[in-house]
Every structure is written in C-alpha cells, then in structure tokens.
Structure 1
Amino acid sequence: MIRAAVLAIVLQGALASGAYAQAQTQPEGVGYFAGRWHVVSRDPDGANPIEVSYAIEPTAGGAWLTGQAASKDGSLSSRDMWGRDPLTGELIRVIFDKSGTRGEVRSKGWEGDKLVLEGEARSKGGTVRVRETITRKGPQRFDAIWEAHRDGKWTPYAVEVVTRRT
C-alpha cells in the first residue's frame, strides 16, 4: 500500500520534449526532465513491474514544470510540479496521486549526474519520510530509487528505469 502511494509520488515528474542541453535551462536544475517518458517500476527484488507513461512540460511561464503520470493498467495516476523554492533555492517536487496522497521532496541540487530529493509523503495512514535518488544515465535515460525511512534506516521500495520517448 505504501509502495503504491509513494510510487505514484515518484512517477509524477517533469517532462516536455527538447534536447538535453536545452532542457537544462528551464527551470534551472530540473529542465532535464521535460519531455515524455516511459517508466518501468519494480520492487527492489525485481518483481511486480508496473509500466507508466509520464509527461512533463513547462507551466506558469516556464518557472515550473508540471507532470502527469498514469500506469497502463490504471492502478496509478498522479500529477506533480517541479521547480525551485524562491527563498531557499532548493529544487522541489510536489506530488499528488489518485489515492489522495501528497508528497513533497527537496534537494540542494545535482551532484554530477545524481540528484537526491528527500521529504515526506502524507496519506490517510500517516506521514512517511521518503527519498528519491535519481541517477542520470544520459539525455535519454535516468534511474530512480525510492526509499522510505523505517526503523531508523532507509529501505528501498521501488526501483525505476525511465527512458525518454521521442
């Protein structure tokens, strides 16, 4: 249950077509995500694959990106917003899924090809600390690992391979 809720949060990303270098400029730090993506998410042991279409495009004059994700089987549906906190400068991602779960994760920014976002997912069942670690594999692919903080340690619950569609 938590996997589905957090997965929906994970899958709501940023997409609007464009070249890798171009996408880096709008908005700063998350423009890479703009475009259309195919996501395959699995449990950490490789089981239970879920295929998701994810589209991200600029909104609000280009200061933000908005994403929409939906699984082929209809089990997952979410929306998200990517941008920069105007006060702290942090990259932020706010995710809403069809179950009513809302998540917000933040990052100081990219370190090479790695972006680590941490925050919370809130649902009817309570609040869970979550972390998404994105590793850019080039202009056409990134991998993401979603973790929940339980019993004093980070535990993976979803592993995603995300490929840009043309």
Structure 2
Amino acid sequence: MALSDLDFFIGAWKAEGRFHDTPFGAGKPIEMVITGTREEREHWTMVRTEELATEQNPDPLTARYIWGYDEQAGEFTAEWFDGNGGRATQRSKGWEGDKLVFEGTITMGGHSLPLRDSFTRLADDRYYHIGETDLGNGWITVDDETATRS
C-alpha cells in the first residue's frame, strides 16, 4: 500500500448529490466541482471540493482534503478543512475491493463527532461518496454524491 493507491482521485471531477436533513440543517441538492492533485513533492494528495451556487444552495461550501500515507502504521491519513470552520482527522486501512473508508472525528462549532467518509469506485471515471456521522444512535447520512471525471 502506498499513496499512489489514491491516484484514482487525481484530476477534475463533477458531482451531484445532496445534503440530507440532519440536526445540522435542512436537506438540499448539491452540485460541485472536485479537483485532485499531488502536492508537496508528491507526498500528499489534495482533493478540493467546491459546491456551485444554485437557487437551492445559495451558500455553497468549499472544503480541502489532504491525504497522506503513514508508513509506520500502514494506513492512509486524512485531514480536511471546510469553509464553515469545520475540520476533521481520519484514517483508512486502504481499498477493500472498490471501497475506501476513512473514519475519525470532525470538529465544528466547538463540538466533536465521529465521522466516516466512504468512497466506492463505480468505474474508472466514476465514484460514489457518502459522508456519515454518529450522534449517539448509530450512523446517519449527512451527504452523498456521485462524481464523474470531467
């Protein structure tokens, strides 16, 4: 396992999906552009997401994911930061078939919660993402999107 295992995400993507009704807010459809690059002498994979402003989403969110590889632990690392001041730290054991799962903690508004992001390869140029949190009663879906390489 190595950082190159995440090269699938390198490039330009377009995605559609939705934020679901949660205690954090009402559901809404989302459209976004996603850009994946290798950074810092190719030691990190950066994935930047930018929601598009629409009538249903007048306050679009941006986020930056920084993925690395911890050779000692044999795991992928993830740090992410969003335009609302949220931040998360996660880890992943890598691809299991066509599924990659990062689990960790998100901190926003002074609160920390469990966070899970799952990515499923649907084809060479397409994937499905689901973001989930646990508020104490099991995992709930916060957002999900299907992305296609553009």
Q: Which band: TM-score by shorter chain?
A: 0.7 to 0.9
Mapped contact 1:26–1:63 kept (Cα < 8 A): no
SS at match of 1:29: helix
SS at match of 1:109: coil
Query: Which stretches of structure 1, 4 residues or longer, exceed 6 Å deviation after superposition?
Result: none
Residues 62-103 of structure 1: CA deviation (Å, up to 9, x unaligned)? 121112221111521121211212321211221111111111
1:65 is matched with 45
User: TM-score normalised to the size of structure 2?
Assistant: 0.85
Corresponding position: 1:48 with 2:28: yes
SS at match of 1:99: coil
Aligned residues: 140
Give percent identity, aligned residues only: 31
**Superposition map of 1:103-118 within 5 A:** 103-118=88-103
SS at match of 2:41: helix
Answer 1 or 2: higher relative contact order, Cα 8 Å, separation at least 6: 1
**Deviation (angstroms), 1:27:** 2.6
SS at match of 1:61: coil
Unaligned runs of 5+ in 2: 22-26, 54-58
Letter in 2 for 1:155: I
**Deviation (angstroms), 1:39:** 1.6
Mapped contact 2:20–2:28 kept (Cα < 8 A): no
User: TM-score normalised to the size of structure 1?
Assistant: 0.77
**Superposition map of 1:134-149 within 5 A:** 134-149=119-134
Corresponding position: 1:28 with 2:4: yes
Aligned-CA RMSD value:
1.9
1:124 is matched with 109
**Deviation (angstroms), 1:109:** 0.7
Mapped contact 1:82–1:93 kept (Cα < 8 A): yes
2:69 is matched with 84
